[in-house]
Amino acid sequence: MSSPEAAGQNDPSQYLVSFGPDANCTLALCPVEASLQGYRPAFGVQIAFIALFGVSMLIHLAQGIRYHTWFFASMMAIGCIGEIIGYGGRVMLYQNPFSFNGFIIEICCITISPVFFAAAIYVTLARVSNFLGPEACRFPAKIYVWVFVPCDVVSLILQSVGGALSSSSVGSDKSGEYITIAGLVFQVFTLTVFTAMALDYLFRYISYRKSQQVDQRRILSTRLGIFGVFFSASIIFILIRCCYRIAELGQGYSGSIFHKEGLFIGLESVMVILAVFALNIAQPGFAFQNRTQGAYTTYGNKVEHESSSEQNASNVREVTMTQE
């Protein structure tokens, strides 16, 4: 007859670990409720989002090549790749809800990737102001790049460090979660300030347009109106998503929000994919394309060049007439 000690050694429940680098639970040994998330991600949903991010990425790359919007397209592509990898991590969690690698891939990539979408948004506003009229800016247009992109980098670093700490800490250590929350809060703060500055520019531009003669190519056309609607929608979608993640991580991995897949799909997955496709429509190269001439105008650089060239030509004609 075996002793109690020997029986305990042969009992798998004595050494099963459900979460962490040493996790050895599987669905055959442990109930799915014992996993950190408490559910098995829906396989079809994860594949659908992988496909959607892949399609959007290909469209962004094609648009970047077509309109030479290299920074915008590269940021969107990097973000989409990160999302695809993140949902690949959720596929791993479908196969084994106790997979520590799958969880870390998900929490890092899906949390960090929208930072790249935000970077594309920040730089685009500088291009918008250069195209419509930098004179209407309260600050130099470069401020949008010099201030908001570094803020985005800070948010990226905080969320990356938080994700890294989450991968190395197990148990009661919440430092990784807190640092990730700090990165998300900072991202929301940055987006909010950015939105306020964008609205300020819009109102100033409308006022400026009423008092000044503006190049017809810089007037808010239907195309630019559509761009504005979807550009604004993308910001709202990302803000909603960030607020959800703050609430989720605020409760911690043991909170009720973290264990509800429906909330994750609706307020994370759907919000981000809507933002990504909205930015496919609000593609700056297409929005500012100049169809009145043989070539297209990207971000107003050519408009400014042409305007200055026409003014120089006019000055030359006046000098010639005076000499005659």
Is 268 a domain residue? yes
CA distances from 275 to 184, 234, 242 (A): 17, 4, 12
Tokens linked to 135 = 């004179």
Is 299 a domain residue? no
Greatest CA separation found in the chain? 122
Q: What is the pLDDT of residue 215?
A: 56
Per-residue pLDDT tens for 50-79?
A: 999 999 999 999 999 999 999 999 999 999
* Torsion over CA: 107, 108, 111, 113 (sign): negative
Q: What is the pLDDT of residue 324?
A: 46
What is residue 30's three-state secondary structure? coil
Q: What is the pLDDT of residue 167?
A: 65
Q: What is the pLDDT of residue 79?
A: 97
- Give 258's DSSP letter: G
Q: What is the pLDDT of residue 240?
A: 97
pLDDT < 70 stretches in the chain: 1-14, 167-173, 211-220, 290-324
List the domain range (segments joined by +) for residue 151.
Answer: 114-288
Q: What is the pLDDT of residue 218?
A: 55
Of the candidates 101, 124, 116, the one whose C-alpha atom is nearest the C-alpha of residue 53 is 116
How many structural domains does the chain have? 1
Is 4 a domain residue? no
- Mean model confidence pLDDT for the chain: 83
Q: What is the pLDDT of residue 213?
A: 60
Q: What is the pLDDT of residue 247?
A: 94
Of the candidates 60, 190, 37, 187, the one whose C-alpha atom is nearest the C-alpha of residue 114 is 187
Q: Are 181 and 250 in contact (CB under 8 A)?
A: yes
Q: What is the pLDDT of residue 42?
A: 97
Written as one string, the DSSP assignment of 88-125 is HHHHHHHH-TT-HHHHHHHHHHHHHTHHHHHHHHHHHH
Is 134 a domain residue? yes
Q: Are 265 and 45 in contact (CB under 8 A)?
A: yes
Per-residue pLDDT tens for 145-167?
A: 889 999 999 999 999 888 878 76
What amino acid is encoded at 47 in this protein?
A: I
Q: What is the pLDDT of residue 135?
A: 80
